[in-house]
Structure 1
Amino acid sequence: MIGASTKYLVLGAAMSSFSRGFEDDVQVYVDRYPHLTQAHRLREHAEEIDADSFELALDAFLTGLDALRATLVP
Structure 2
Amino acid sequence: MVPFTHKYADKAWIEFEKDKTGGFAPVGLTIIANIPLARASSGYQASRVIELENAAVAYAKKLGVPVTFRSES
TM bucket normalised to smaller? 0.3 to 0.5
Structure with greater proportional helix content: 1
Structure with greater proportional strand content: 2
Bigger RCO (CA 8 Å, 6+ sep): 2
TM-score by length of 1: 0.36
